[in-house]
Amino acid sequence: MGSTPEELEARLLSTLQDAGPIADSGEFASAQGVDHGRVVGIVKSLQSDGLVSSEGTEHASFELTDEGAGYREAGSPEAQVWNDIPAEGVPVTHALLTSPMGRIGQSKGLAKKWLYMDKSSPEARVKRKVDSISDTTQEQLIKISQGQHQDIPAKELADLKKRKMIRDVKRFTYRVTKGPEFALQRRKAATDLTADMLVKGTWKEEKFKAYNFNALGQPPAGGHLHPLLKVRTQFRKIFTQMGFQEMPTNAFVESSFWNFDALFQPQQHPARDAHDTFFLTHPARAPISHVPEDYLERVRNVHERGGYSSTGYGTPWKVAEAEKNLLRTHTTAVSSRMLYKLAQSGFQPAKYFSIDRVFRNEAVDRTHLAEFHQIEGVVCDVGLTLGHLIGILKLFFTRLGLPKLRFKPAYNPYTEPSMEIFSYSEELKKWIEVGNSGMFRPEMLRPMGLPENVNVIAWGLGLERPTMILYGIDNIRDLFGHKVNLSMVKRNPICRLGF
Ligand code: FB9
């Protein structure tokens, strides 16, 4: 007799009214043919509104395991096997007997003398021994699910437990009586004192819902910073605390001139073909006229013939190549623009940083996407050396909590010498690559007009790796991109970099 919570609630209250206290909520449940759990739920909620009172008694009880619940529905294994065996029986190799449930059913069926083994034929057959059975096991499981295990012999209960059909549970049943606010029907407690109540004075007999001061308020709807942006903020803090100013990186589309040529990256360099770089079709070209003619000629010159103690590449340098628009492959393109501006505006020592998206047409894997956030630091001053670079890298990475650094010679078209940076991560208990660095080549700086004695040291790293490490994210797709589950963005903790 399916019943809605309201119906069951009304029946419980009318029982209290008509028949007095309910001695055992378990009995009330089976009398109503409903699960005891539902009755307990209603008693608890009526109690919270004062309509009823209850005191619980703990009983050592049993509940069905999932397996037991299955047999309550379908019958015990032995009963199922007995039911499915045809009059002529089945050979012992029959699927009915060889499945996990079939094997149990056969052995129990034989033990209960419901079945017998007919060895008269070459291949033994299992046959019914009796014409009818009563599946006491199933009946017991039904009783137990209704909390009525009292009249099941302890030995049988122990056997059901051994057969992993039931398990011990502590069960509470309740003695239910009328409560201080008893009524045959729950009157919805008012949650608001309305003007209407005040005007009509009905608030006097109104029953107001108690304030639940422990209730968690509505989480303030608001924005959530993506972990990447939280870590970016930390990096920004470190740079600004070290006296660096942020470079304007809001233009993802760049011309090949500033992304490659200004950095003395040869026009034949493999990175300059579409395998590595996203070139634009519309607009395909950035008219080179935006580059001052004299500077352009100096760049052509150094690529073709060198100068500034460089041999150059000795290959023809084509304006058309330099005009190609692309999605910047590194924020070093912004550094080249800033350094040119610095040179043109009369050299002053400067410290710049950039943190923004760069795009590389590379194979996507667990730690690489076709776009990532590059972090770059640039220091330009008179007489800077590799020692200054190593020094500032130690300062910078110590702020990241990575004091132990190692440097490995590397190659970049625009820096010489260049170094890959490695650090020992306490978290990962291993040395990890944490970036790249170098001293910008004179072939890049001199054509810009920077004085002979000015050197520029620079380094770069990614934002994704540190964020993945700090937030324990293993696959970059879970951090960035259309597959990210937004709850991660909503629930990620604050970011504490380094100290
Ligand atoms: O970020 C990287 N690793 C890293 C950084 C910090 C970190 O912190 C943890 C909190 C503790 C952990 C790891 N890398 C650079 C190293 C690798 O992840 C590498 O596989 C991937 N690299 C990206 C490029 O991938 C194609 C990271 C990205 C990178 C590499 C080089 C530069 C910038 C970004 C550069 C440069 C540069 C060099 C000279 C002059 C100017 C800029």
Domain limits, the chain = 228-491
Helices (H), 220-348: 227-241, 256-259, 293-304, 319-323, 332-344
Question: 377 in ligand 1 pocket by Cβ < 6 Å?
Answer: no
**pLDDT reported for residue 223:** 86
**pLDDT reported for residue 150:** 81
Within its chain, how far is the Cα of 114 from the centroid? 55
pTM recorded for the entire structure: 0.65
Question: 324 in ligand 1 pocket by Cβ < 6 Å?
Answer: no
Contacts within 8 Å (CB) and 24+ apart, 9-14? 9/42, 9/46, 9/186, 10/184, 10/185, 12/39, 12/42, 12/43, 12/46, 12/52, 12/176, 13/46, 13/51, 13/52, 13/182, 13/183, 13/184, 13/185, 13/186, 14/184
Token digits of residue 119: 């060895």
Question: 157 in ligand 1 pocket by Cβ < 6 Å?
Answer: no
Question: 265 in ligand 1 pocket by Cβ < 6 Å?
Answer: no
Fold of 228-491: BirA Bifunctional Protein; domain 2 (3.30.930)
Question: 432 in ligand 1 pocket by Cβ < 6 Å?
Answer: yes
Distance in angstroms (rounded) separating the CA atoms of residues 108 and 102: 10
Residue written as tokens 């978290």? 427
Q: Which of 435, 433, 440 is CA-nearest to residue 379?
A: 440
Distance in angstroms (rounded) separating the CA atoms of residues 146 and 149: 8
Distance in angstroms (rounded) separating the CA atoms of residues 418 and 386: 9
**Binned average pLDDT, 10 residues per bin, the chain of 499 residues:** 81 94 90 88 91 90 92 94 91 90 93 92 90 94 85 93 92 91 84 91 86 84 89 96 97 97 94 89 93 97 96 96 97 98 97 97 82 97 98 96 96 97 91 97 98 98 93 89 85 74
Residue of minimum CA distance from atom 21 in ligand 1: 462
Distance in angstroms (rounded) separating the CA atoms of residues 27 and 57: 13
* Residue type for position 42: I
Rg (CA), the chain: 40
Q: Among 415, 440, 465, 479, which residue has the most ligand 1 atoms within 8 Å of its CB, making it the best to mutate?
A: 465
Distance in angstroms (rounded) separating the CA atoms of residues 135 and 80: 9
Distance in angstroms (rounded) separating the CA atoms of residues 100 and 114: 19
